Amino acid sequence: MKEFEACRLCEWNCGVNRYEDVGVCNVTIPEIAYTCLAESLESYSITLLGCNFRCLYCNAYRLSQYPDTNWFYRGYVEPQELAEEAVAALREAGITKLGFTGGEPTIHLPYIEEVVKAAKNEMPELRVGFTTNGFATQESMRRIVKMCSYITLEINAFQNETHLALSGAPVEPVLRNAELLSEHRDKIRAFKTVVVPRINDKEIVEIAQFIASFDPSIPYHLVGFRPSFMLYYHPGPSANELEAIARRCEKYLETVEWGGVYPTGSAFDASGAELALKYAERAGCIRKDRNCGLCTMNKKCPAILREPWLCTHAKSGQKDMDQNDRDHEEEQA
């Protein structure tokens, strides 16, 4: 991983020796936040620490802004060891998808390439996913495309002024890499935008038009902002707002999905214990009395294993979106 001695993986082009110093991303050697096997999504996800953006809304800021947040995570893991762990988990679950997210995984690209190489030696049929903010250099973006089976790229503003204000970085490299990625339609899982009312919501149709100029069949995912980090006291979008934006985008794109609405009221007409039980049931709980000690599935609770944001919503226009899109998903990182 000699590239870390003069790191130029992203468009900040810091050139620092990350074994001794830090650049804008503020991290040294690659460190793992956590790994997760999501059987319902048929994917094993590796989440890395650090990011080259400073997004105001980041709901994963404790890992994207590491080490400033002073949280403790797993740390550095040898690529071969991490690959062996991933392959073992994938084989046990009978799945073949390995995803990388963050933070921003691009800043650890040489490390990820070593993990993928080692994993594919053990599992040649492995499919690799990558979630990125698109701020890679052109060379790094081409390497990501070559390595991956599917990629999600986030575009969170169209105007440079807005993108700078939201993320602390210029938008041009992101748009350039979106165009580069569009030349590899089979590698695109989706383009994604986190919808922040009164900040970027007026630019989302422009983003849809931009995507459609390459290929109107590219899926576009709108993710409702949830109050977090520096926008903790800023409201997220309602279901009606998200659906209205999606309908406007559908004039240009064939597939527009939205999710992650900001709750403005209860999903059920109930209260007290009855309301709590309804939420548990919707998440997958099989016991009407919620007595976990008597449950036959308490060692593998379906309500714990099922991601609640994947539950079907009452609003007819809302479609489910998978965990890879959170920007850890995850994901508004």
Q: Return the HEC string of 147-205.
A: HCCEEEEECCCCCHHHHHHHHCCCCHHHHHHHHHHHCCHHHEEEEEEEECCCCCHHHHH
Residues 101, 76 within the same domain: yes
In a domain, 333, yes or no: no
> Is 272 among the domain residues?
no
In a domain, 273, yes or no: no
Instruction: Mark whether 173 and 307 lie in a shared domain.
Output: no
Identify whether residues 210 and 306 lie together within a single domain: no
| 160 and 189, same domain (yes or no) | yes
Q: What is the pTM of this model?
A: 0.84
* Mean of the per-residue pLDDT values of the chain: 89
Who's near 328: CB < 8 A, 6+ residues apart?
A: 45, 47, 60, 101, 102, 131
Is residue 331 assigned to a domain?
no
82 and 95 in a single domain? The answer is yes
Look up residue 32 and give its DSSP letter. E
The C-alpha atoms of residue 327 and residue 61 are separated, in whole angstroms, by: 11
Same domain, 77 and 220: yes
Q: Is the pLDDT of residue 317 over 50?
A: no
Which of 245, 193, 190, 198 is closest to 223 using CA atoms?
A: 193
Shared domain check, 115 and 42: yes
Range of the domain at 291: 278-312
Angle formed at CA 295 by CA 321 and CA 95, multiple of 5 degrees:
40
Structure-model confidence comparison of residues 321 and 294, the more confident one:
294
Looking at residue 140, what is its pLDDT? Answer: 99
DSSP structural state of residue 233 = T
105-157 tens-digit pLDDT: 999 999 999 999 999 999 999 999 999 999 999 999 999 999 999 999 999 99
**Within this chain, do residues 181 and 224 fall inside the same structural domain, yes or no?**
yes
111 and 241 share one domain:
yes
Whether 192 and 302 share a structural domain = no
- Asked if residue 220 is part of any domain, the answer here is yes
**Count: domains in the chain:** 2
CATH number at residue 91: 3.20.20.70
Asked if residue 225 belongs to a domain, the reply is yes
Domain co-membership, 190 together with 296: no
Do 46 and 193 lie in one domain? The reply is yes
- The answer, yes or no, to whether residue 310 has pLDDT greater than 50, is no
Query: Is 330 contained in some domain?
Result: no
Contact 228, 332 (CB under 8 A): yes
Q: What is the pLDDT of residue 73?
A: 83
